[in-house]
Structures are given as C-alpha cells and as structure tokens.
Amino acid sequence: MSLLYQLQQKYKTLSIVGMAKNAGKTTALNYLIEEAMDEGIVLGVTSTGRDGESSDLVTGTEKPKVYLDTGTIVSVPVQLYELAETGLEIIQKTKFSTSLGELLLCRVAESGYVQIAGPVNTVDHKKLCKEMEELGAELILIDGAIDRKSIAAPGTSDAIILSTGAVLSRSMKKVVEETVHIVSLYSMPKLPEGRVRDIIRKESENKERITLINSKNEMQFLDLKTGLGASRFLDEAIDDDTQYVYIPGALTTSVFEDIHPAKRKRIQFVLKDPTKIFIGSLAWQQLKKKGFHVCVLENIEVAAVTVNPYAPSGYSFDHNELKKAMEDALDGIPVIDVKLGGVFE
C-alpha cells in the first residue's frame, strides 16, 4: 500500500514543508506525484512560490523538475505558461496575482515538466485549493518554496509532510534531534475550549496585540503586536493574578529573558500556532526543564516525514540507518526515504 493512498484516506490538502534548503522537499513532491500516477489519483498541485525550474534560483545548485501526469490540475502564472514542457489546457483564470502575473488553473494535457507557482498567503491558498477540488482534484499538494515554514501554518492545509535530511548537519544524531524538535513543536498542546480561548480568539480577530488575562478573565493589553523587545514591559505588567499571556507574534528567547523566572514558571503563554516559535532544540529543552509553559490556539498535524540522506556539499548517511533512527524517534509517524522509496503496510 503506497504512502499517498494512505494519506488520501485522511486528507484533502497536504503541504510539503522543508526543514532547510535542499532537504529533499521537491524530491518528496515528485515521489508523491509518481505514487499518484501509479494509484490513478487525480492531483491538484500548487506552490507557495515559483517551483519546477531546473536549478535553484537562490543557490544555483541543480534541483529536480516537477513532472506532472496527464489530468493533473496545476496552478501556473501567465509568464510561466509558455515555459511548460508539455501541453496545458487552461481551465480558468483565477483572481489571484503573483509576481509572474495572473494565476491560471490548468489541466495537464500530456505528461511532462511544468514550472508551478501559486499565491503567497494562506488565505488565497485555501481558496485556490477549494477551486482545485471543485475541478476534480482528489488530493492537493502544496509545495512550500525556499524553506517557507509559514506554509505549515494551520488553515493552509489539513496536514503537512515534513522533509528533512543530511543537509541539516554532518551528524545524523543532530539531524534526528532537530527533526524531532520541530515535530514536537508542531504537535504541542492546544489551549482547551472555554472562556479564555474564546477571549483570545476574539481579541486576535479584532486587533493583534499582547494580551494578559487574570483569574477573573479580565484582560490587560500591551500596545505591542510582538513580544520582541517587550520582555521588560511584560515583566512589569505580569502581577500575582496574571494567568495567561497571549503573544500574537514571534516567540524567541528575547521575548521573556527579562521576565522573572518565578513568573515564567507560573504563567501559561499562548501562541497562535507553532510556526511562531523561533527557538532551537537545546534552548527549548532547557526552558521546558525550568517549567516554561506554552500552548497554541491551533497546532499542526504531521502526516509523514521524508528523509534525504544526501547533502549537496557531498557527504551522506547510510539510507537504512537514517530511516530507522528517524522511525525510532518519531514513533507512529510514517518515515520514507525519498531516494529509495518504501512500502507501507
């Protein structure tokens, strides 16, 4: 049974997210496209930016092209339409614009290579995926461009496929640790349903600002959208009755470095989603050991992890060792080597 067949039973849209440049994200996309061809699944394919070009526009390294099967529904900007190495039937023009022109929804008339692109924000992606689904796509794959982890944000897709590999480090142990760190962040606890969650959700819809909530569900606002540079102000604002602190922006160590340790241990910090966290695995583990509590309004489901044992700089890991190490560390999450493939029972 193929990985894609299993995923299609649970999800309608999947984002492919790379942990780093050259982690094998496009290779993972091509692997899933090949499985779709074998299974006869009609795919919708889009991207958070331009993709499918033969060399990386940032690093200049060779990168895989995107080969699409006949019948695939794909988003292509006007300026890339003529560059397709196969026939594309224009189904409809969309209302979405890109830096490469108006976005077209096309059906692949004959299997071949296509340069794809899509909207840059999650709201437009959600609308685009809905249109693809209405046109007959049975499963939609969103290819995140240039390590754009924001495409993992909840609301973009039902779940993500996380691509990782040797490019992260020459140490296999480090690669596994960093991957486990991201997966654990993405699956962190959600703030339970109730009055506090309702308050924060309503506030976040109206105006993005740091919000403190006490035991009586009373709110105090700091006129700051982000916690960056606000550590001292937060420490002054948190009193003995403060229970929750909602931070709408990025969470880094600088956000709470000036908050008294006793307050940090007592307060429940709340974030929109895990993509707002920019703290390394070692620092994160140290914070958790010191009693730091954080939850999210929405977390992210990791449907599978793909591993690439090769790094562009020339070193590599043993395929089987990397796959097994990752499987042991990520109990219950499918792991696949995008170079060798694999069958899931």
**pLDDT confidence of residue 49:** 59
**pLDDT confidence of residue 150:** 57
Give me the average pLDDT of each 10-residue run along the chain (345 residues).
80 91 86 90 84 41 68 92 90 88 93 88 87 95 66 80 94 95 94 93 80 93 73 90 92 87 92 90 89 92 93 91 95 85 42
Query: What is the Cα–Cα distance from 297 to 281, expressed in whole angstroms?
Result: 21
**pLDDT confidence of residue 341:** 58
> Nearest 5°: CA angle at 31, between 136 and 181?
105
**pLDDT confidence of residue 107:** 96
**pLDDT confidence of residue 56:** 41
Sign, CA torsion 320/22/18/338: negative
Query: What is the Cα–Cα distance from 179 to 322, expressed in whole angstroms?
Result: 12
**pLDDT confidence of residue 307:** 94
Tokens of 183: 């997966």
- Decide: helix, strand or coil at residue 136: coil
Domain spans in the chain, listed from the N-terminal domain onward: 3-187+300-337, 195-296
> Nearest 5°: CA angle at 63, between 69 and 60?
145
Query: What is the Cα–Cα distance from 200 to 208, expressed in whole angstroms?
Result: 10
**CB half-sphere exposure, 272, CA atoms < 13 A:** 20
CATH 3.40.50 holds for 3-187+300-337: yes
**pLDDT confidence of residue 280:** 87
